[in-house]
Amino acid sequence: MAISLGELATRFDCELRGDAATEISRVAALQNAAPDALSFLSGAAFKAQLGSTRAAAVILRESDADDCPVACLVNDNPYACYARIADFLYPPPAIVAGVHPQAVIGDRAKVSPTAEIAANATVSDDAVIGDECFVGPGSFVGPGCTLGSRTRLLANVTLVRNVTLGQRCIMHPGAVIGSDGFGNAMTPDGWVKVPQLGGVCVGDDVEIGANTSIDLGALGDTVIGNGVRIDNLVHIAHNCQVGEHSAIAAQCGFAGSTVIGKRCMFGGQVGVTGHLTICDDVIFNGKAVVSKNVTRPGRYSSVFPCEPVLEWNQKVARFRRLDKLARRISDLEKNST
């Protein structure tokens, strides 16, 4: 697919500086762009590569335009503009409506005639698959699950039961939504399983990463708000609520019943205790430990960067003897008075 810079500028609301007739047939990074490629400059880190780019054109902010050796599409948010153009040039594969002969559909399932059910997928009785949905190879849609229109389960996705997905969601391979919450009651004879009777309610435009697990509520629902982005291998326990447009990087874990505000951002491997409330617009550095409510927006951390092990071990030893240091200071203070 090729498209002119002029048409791109019109469609994607950019100011064009350069020849409107120039044709773009692909996107590429600044450094590697061939002369038929469109590139973008969004952050200072890549500014140094702008001068030597061989791209046909670059999407960039007005303040960078003068330094651009080739044509440019000026936009206030070059990264988002690039994302939209790339999506236009490389749309996801079209839905091929119909049920593969080797898919299995329960008798009482409601599958839109415009949906695609791929090979080796299984759709249970009492599941509802909306218009233009994609249920990928090896995926399972359990009882009581509903997919809003244009939602895609890529390969080997599992919706266990009582899962409602909104419209235009993407579930990446290996994601498990609606697994039992970890509810166990201790007795002298061992653990008794606490039945998990709720569901998972996922809003519109949500993306859930590969091998991520989201448990259904014990009573009531686990809720993922509109526009939330969840990366790979994340764990979200029963009855959590994640506010709209929050983004959760890989391997984060959330214990049960925690409520996350809107537009929060979690670096990778963050751990969040249960029954907390995190307000809107909070950012956590990777691997942070969140064990108390957070009531003020801002960035939080609890991470020690690594060091050569000998130096590190000395520091840990010092840390372990902090009490002694404090006592020595007290002694000095006594003597000095």
Question: Annotated active-site positions, please?
Answer: 238
The rounded Cα 74 to chain-centroid distance in angstroms is: 28
Closer residue to a second copy (CB): 10 or 330: 330
Shortest Cβ 63–a second copy spacing (Å): 18
Helix (H, G, I), strand (E, B), or coil: what is residue 49?
A: helix
- Residue 44 as a binder of a second copy (CB under 8 A): the answer is no
- Residue 60 as a binder of a second copy (CB under 8 A): the answer is no
**Of 80, 26, 90, 12, which Cα lies nearest the Cα of 56?**
26
- Residue 126 as a binder of a second copy (CB under 8 A): the answer is no
Closer residue to a second copy (CB): 20 or 85: 85
- Residue 322 as a binder of a second copy (CB under 8 A): the answer is yes
Q: What angle do CA 297, 299, 300 make, to 5 degrees?
A: 110
Shortest Cβ 293–a second copy spacing (Å): 11
- Residue 142 as a binder of a second copy (CB under 8 A): the answer is yes
CA 170 to CA 208: how far, in whole Å?
6
Closer residue to a second copy (CB): 68 or 288: 288
Closer residue to a second copy (CB): 63 or 187: 187
CA 250 to CA 228: how far, in whole Å?
14
Shortest Cβ 114–a second copy spacing (Å): 21
- Residue 134 as a binder of a second copy (CB under 8 A): the answer is no
Q: Are 122 and 128 in contact (CB under 8 A)?
A: no
**Residues of span 105-124 touching a second copy by CB under 8 A:** 118-122
Shortest Cβ 239–a second copy spacing (Å): 9
Helix (H, G, I), strand (E, B), or coil: what is residue 50?
A: coil
- Residue 32 as a binder of a second copy (CB under 8 A): the answer is yes
Tokens, residue 80: 């988002």
- Residue 83 as a binder of a second copy (CB under 8 A): the answer is yes
CA 208 to CA 29: how far, in whole Å?
26
CA 167 to CA 162: how far, in whole Å?
16
Closer residue to a second copy (CB): 18 or 268: 268
Tokens, residue 32: 């590697």
Binding-site size, a second copy (CB under 8 A): 127
- Residue 227 as a binder of a second copy (CB under 8 A): the answer is yes
- Residue 315 as a binder of a second copy (CB under 8 A): the answer is yes
**Residues of span 269-288 touching a second copy by CB under 8 A:** 269, 271, 273, 275, 284-288
The rounded Cα 143 to chain-centroid distance in angstroms is: 26
In the shown chain, the binding pattern of residues 173 to 212 toward a second copy, with x for contact by CB under 8 A and - for none, equals: xx-x--xx-xxxxxx--xxxxxx-x-------x-x-xxxx
Tokens, residue 124: 């249970």
Tokens, residue 228: 């939330």
Shortest Cβ 224–a second copy spacing (Å): 13
Closer residue to a second copy (CB): 66 or 77: 77
Closer residue to a second copy (CB): 66 or 187: 187
Tokens 């500028």 found at: 9
**Of 222, 226, 249, which Cα lies nearest the Cα of 236?**
222
- Residue 3 as a binder of a second copy (CB under 8 A): the answer is no
Shortest Cβ 58–a second copy spacing (Å): 14
Helix (H, G, I), strand (E, B), or coil: what is residue 112?
A: coil
Q: Are 124 and 143 in contact (CB under 8 A)?
A: yes
**Residues of span 234-263 touching a second copy by CB under 8 A:** 235, 237, 244-245, 247, 249-251, 253, 255
On the CB side of 71, how many CA atoms lie within 13 Å of its CA? 24
